[in-house]
Amino acid sequence: MARTAVPRPPLRRFRLANGLSVVLAPIPASPTVSVWVWYRVGSKNEHPGITGASHWVEHMLFQGSPRYGKGEIDRSVVSVGGELNAFTDTDFTAYFSTVPHEHLRIPLDIESDRMTRALISDVEVDRERTVIHSEREGNENWPEFRVEEELYQLAFRVHSYRWEVLGRRTDIERLTAEQLREYYHRFYGTRNAVLVVAGAFDPRAVARDVRRRFSALPRSGGDVTVPEVEPPATGERRAELSGPGTTPFLQIGWRSPALRDAETPATMVIDTILGGEARLFAAGSGWGRSGEHPSSRLHRALVDTALAVRATSEWRPREYPGLFTVQAQAAKGISLDRLEEAIDAVLSRLIRSGPSKKELDDLRAKVRRGAALAYEGATRIGFRLGYFSTIRSLEYEEELFRSLLRVGAAEVQERARQLFVPQSRVVVRYTPTGGSDDE
Amino acid sequence: MTNSSNPLRLEYGRAIDGLRVVRQPAPVGAASFSATYVGPAGSGFDPPGEEGIARLVNQLMTVAAGRYRRIELARRLDRAGALLSHETSPEAGEVTIWGPAGDWKSLVGLLGEVVRSPRFDPDDIARLQRQFLERQMRERTQPASRADLEMLHAIYPRGHPYRSTGLGDRRSITRLPRQRLIRFHRDHYTSDGGLLVVTTAAPLSAVEEAAMDVFAGFSAAKGPRLRVPTLGRTAPQRRTIPLAGRSQVEIRLGGPSIPQSAPEYVGAYLANEVLGGRPLLSRLFQRVRERNGLAYHSSSHLETMRFGGIWSARAGTGADRWRRVVPMLVQEVERLRRETVPLRELNTIRKSAIGEVPLALESTAEAHELAVDVSYHGLAEDYLVRWPARLRAVTPADVREAARSAFDRNHSVTVVAGPVDPR
């Protein structure tokens, strides 16, 4: 097996005739085994009227399939001490179960049963409607959620990234079971899926078992390409929101490259320099952390100077061009105008002078250290292998890692110059209404 | 797996001036290690008028220490691939370091520097004070945190150590001078009453040696003891907190509970799992979400500490649905207290609780949390090994009796916070 710079376990990979990609990662000492199924289906595949369908299908895949009645999927896994969950993104949906290793058969059986044959009954869809409303309401309680939803809606007019993964309220009210079934049968299937098994198992026996269970499934899963192309932005867009909250908050976005673009590594470096987070190669991902990065530029320029109580950046590479964002929560008495000026000054400096040698050295050390600790625990390993396989390829992890270490100051500076342009800038400002009752 | 490599079997080492030293074997093949110092420094020690001091001190410790100013400490950690985190409970202040397994010794040294010599630089204090003020506002205006806060305020009288969430209030936080923070640190981050837990593949002797290097002569002060008054008699209460403009209503039904050392603890643990603690299988999840589709989350929690505990049943739902959900929470708590749990249901929950033990050993960080909990309560070295047997020994009648004691309804409160009509 080829030696990789990112120390992942040895893998066995194959593709079934029906198109299903399989990745097996045997970890003999693991007390558990984690089974993941990733679909290259997400809110990008929806259209107005059925926004939120991917997320709703995610819920419905726990509500019954031919061999598992309502509640039996949960019960089968949890009753042996396992855990299971799922999440939906713009570009993918992922389902996982982690169980003590002797119970591997259970998640494999569930995933093979619901990959193409989930029931999605009218009764259960209706019952789930209020649960999904409730999930959205819980998110709406946070100004940050409302601001981000508005930001993407403002930034995109054609592409499906313009709605939130949970879907629009009106669509949650109206979506029918028939529409969900149609969506599920159109996109979910072997051709759009990656199955990952990580943990303690005999790879030969499990490869046989996987072939036996999944080869029988029909070749399915339609084209998940999004044909709509967002036209270039032609000017700054702004919105003002208000509602309950603490202090003023703002989020600014700029059009950013897609994952496959050559600019991806330099854009990730900009995100780490501004916000401090090394994201895909952060040490201790999954470990509870404060999210504060005192050495990052935004923190130093805004939080240390008493302008903000929090300030960071975020860039998640997506399949299609997305947004690079900067967000800050004002300190008491600081206006959003003042905050915007300070953010502009930080970005101008990066464009003017690029990153320092020290910043790049620190970043490389951080990425190397983070990568060294990235593969610990079957659940996390399953996540990581599935994520890279789905967004592009397993080889891409290694490629990205090496590219990040190679990015130089001039490249970062040039990328910053191209990224932070006024014509693609989108600003959403949130002003709290009324007073808080803390005084 | 030998005893010295089983993460479920802890090894208690020689104490250093009262500081207990514990080693937990790291999970096999783990790339990381973890170490935690726990001191008698929880928010329950906040003096009147200085509410929030424990949490502020705890957080400041992880910001800058010894030779490292704030940015230098952050760079030191980044370059090591390590993380520092902090946690303040009502009883204790914790500081944890996590990082590459091979660097465990030097990182335990760094943890020692953080615990022994925090800098409390004035700029850091001012910045954290600003952040605390914003978090106080958030706590009061967010339905979930406001419901938690109101629940504690209704259950516990002023001055009770479990009453606070640790954030203090505007007056208390802005009035804390640097000298007070230094004094609080000196009095509460002590050897006596303190604990060091290290999850590593290195042997106990190496852990003891590293602990001695770092903590010998740390503190001669006597660790303070928390005073927890008995609650007076009272009746169930109800609080409605209207928060206009929010989308979701948060419901809490909660009250005081038993300490971890109570003889009925294991029964109470299972009672809580039946009620709402066990994800997806519990009665609250099944009834509120699965059968009636009324909420996205519905669960229960039992937090047992050294001197007492807190239980709560909770849900988040819409403004048009909360009136249906509240009686469900009340009924399920009452049913648990009144009726014997069917053996079949108990066995399902029990099997799940026993089966999940291997999941906690997937990574160092997860295993370490268990070790800190067991050591903090001074439980036997093989407590985690014997945990399944303890669970198996509990009968349905034990669960009912434990529920009556642990889910105290006399001192309980129902809080509803969010877009509700106060009438």
**Chain B partners of A83 at a C-beta cutoff of 8 Å?**
279, 356, 359
Lookup: tokens for B281? 């299988």
**Which whole number is the average pLDDT over A151-170?**
97
The single-letter code of the amino acid at A251 is Q
Residue A292's pLDDT band (cuts 50, 70, 90): confident
Residue B167, phi then psi, degrees to nearest 5: -85, -15
Q: What is the pLDDT of residues A353-381, one digit of tens each?
A: 999 999 999 999 999 988 888 889 999 99
Residue among B280, B294, B362 minimizing CB distance to A31: B362
Q: The tokens 């980044």 sit on which residue? A: B78
Locate the chain B residue with the closest alpha carbon to A60: B290
Q: Are B57 and B45 in contact (CB under 8 A)?
A: no
Q: Predicted confidence band at A408 (pLDDT cuts at 50, 70, 90)? A: very high
For residue B343, give the amino acid letter.
L
pLDDT exceeding 70 applies to what percent of chain A?
Answer: 96
Contacts of A128 in chain B (CB under 8 A): 293
Tokens of B131: 């952040």
Q: Given CB atoms, is B348 within the 8 Å cutoff of chain A?
A: yes
Rounded to the nearest 10 degrees, what angle do helices A357-372 and B70-80 cross at? 50
- Name the strands in the sheet holding B83-88, side by side, starting at the edge strand that comes first in the sequence: B11-12, B20-25, B195-200, B32-39, B93-100, B83-88
Please name the residue of chain A whose CA is at the shortest distance from the CA of residue B359: A32
| Cβ within 8 Å of A, B 158-187 | 169-170
Distance CA A401, CA A367 (A): 8
Q: Can you name the residues that pair with B37 across neighbouring β-strands?
A: B95, B196
Q: How distant is the Cα of B114 from the closest Cα of chain A, in angstroms?
A: 16
Indicate yes or no: CB of A141 within 8 angstroms of CB of B286: no
Q: Which residues of B touch A329 (CB under 8 A)?
A: 134
In what helix (H) or strand (E) does residue A403 lie, and over which residues does it extend? helix A394-406
Residue A289's pLDDT is: 45
Q: Per-residue pLDDT averaged across A267-294, rounded?
A: 79
* Three-state secondary structure call for residue A57: helix
- For the record, the structure tokens of B311 come out as 């239980």
pLDDT of residue A438: 39
Cβ atoms of residues A257 and A267 within 8 Å:
yes
Contacts of A71 in chain B (CB under 8 A): 286, 290
Map tokens 């170490």 to a residue.
B35
Higher pLDDT, B240 or B233: B240
Alpha carbons B386 and B382: distance in angstroms, whole number: 6
- Whether the CB of B418 is below 8 Å from some CB of chain A: the reply is yes
Residue A427, pLDDT above cutoff 80: yes
Q: Residue B126 — φ and ψ, nearest 5°? A: -60, -40
In the numeric block, which tokens belong to residue B222?
A: 């006597």
- pLDDT value of residue A4: 62
Asked if B134 and A329 come within 8 Å (Cβ–Cβ), the reply is yes
Per-residue pLDDT tens digits for A12-69 = 999 999 999 999 999 999 999 999 999 999 999 999 999 999 999 999 999 999 999 9
Q: Do A283 and B279 touch (CB under 8 A)?
A: no
Residues of A in contact with B60 (CB under 8 A): none
Starting at the earlier edge strand, list the strands of the sheet with A426-432.
Answer: A237-243, A426-432, A249-255, A323-330, A308-314
Which pLDDT score is estimated for A286? 45
The CA dihedral of A356, A358, A360, A366, to the nearest 10 degrees, is -150
- Provide mean pLDDT across the span B17-32: 95
- Judged against a pLDDT cut of 90, whether residue B337 lies above it is answered with yes
The answer, yes or no, to whether residue A79 has pLDDT greater than 70, is: yes
Is it the case that residue A382 has pLDDT exceeding 90? yes
Instruction: Tell me the two tokens of residue B144.
Output: 């979930």
Q: Is residue B171 over pLDDT 50?
A: yes
Per-residue model confidence as pLDDT tens digits over A329-345: 999 999 999 999 999 99
Q: Is the Cβ–Cβ distance between A302 and A339 less than 8 Å?
A: yes
* Contact by Cβ (8 Å): A426, A155: yes
Tokens of A93: 């949906």
Hey, is the C-beta of B144 within 8 angstroms of any chain A C-beta? yes
Contact B52, B41 (CB under 8 A): no
Residue pLDDT, tens place only, B59-107: 999 999 999 999 999 999 999 999 999 999 999 999 999 999 999 999 9
Count of pairs with CB atoms under 8 A, one residue in A, one in B: 221
Q: What would the 3-class secondary structure string for chain B be?
A: CCHHHCCCCCEECCCECCEEEEEEECCCCCCEEEEEEEECCCHHHCCCCCCCHHHHHHHHHCCCECCECHHHHHHHHHHHCCEEEEEECCCCEEEEEEEEHHHHHHHHHHHHHHHHCECCCHHHHHHHHHHHHHHHHHHHHCHHHHHHHHHHHHHCCCCCCCCCCCCCCHHHHHCCCHHHHHHHHHHHCCCCCCEEEEEECCCHHHHHHHHHHHHCCCCCCCCCCCCCCCCCCCCCEEEEEECCCCCEEEEEEEEEECCCCCCCHHHHHHHHHHHHHCCCCCHHHHHHHHHCCCEEEEEEEEEECCCCEEEEEEEEEECCCHHHHHHHHHHHHHHHHHCCCCHHHHHHHHHHHHHCHHHHHCCHHHHHHHHHHHHHCCCCCCHHHHHHHHHHCCCHHHHHHHHHHHCCCCCCEEEEEECCCCC
pLDDT in tens, A149-159: 999 999 999 99
- pLDDT score of A437: 41
Question: Token pair for residue A29?
Answer: 């000492």
Q: Is A243 left (phi over 0), alpha (psi -120 to 50) or beta?
A: left
Distance CA A281, CA A400 (A): 10
Q: Is the alpha carbon torsion for A160, A165, A170, A176 positive or negative?
A: positive
pTM above 0.90, yes or no: yes
- A27, A80, A306 member nearest B355 (Cβ): A80
Of B78, B131, B318, which is closest to A137 when you measure between CB atoms? B318
- Residues B146 and B241: beta-carbon distance below 8 Å: yes
CB atoms within 10 A of CB A14: 12
Chain A CB within 8 Å of residue B334 CB: no
For the stretch A206-233, pLDDT in tens is 999 999 999 999 999 999 999 999 999 9
Asked if B137's CB is within 8 angstroms of A141's CB, the reply is no
Picking from A124, A196, A228, A219, the residue whose alpha carbon sits closest to that of residue A375 is A196
Residue B417 distance to chain A (closest CA, Å): 12
Q: What is the DSSP string of A261-329?
A: STTHHHHHHHHHHHH---GGG-TTTTS------TTSHHIIIIITTTSEEEEEEE----SS--EEEEEEE
Among A140, A373, A439, select the one facing B100 at the smallest CB separation: A373
Q: Is the pLDDT of residue B422 over 90?
A: no
Q: Tell me the ipTM for this assembly.
A: 0.94
| B258 to A255, B262, B303: CA distances (angstroms) | 55, 6, 9
How much of chain B exceeds pLDDT 70, in percent?
99
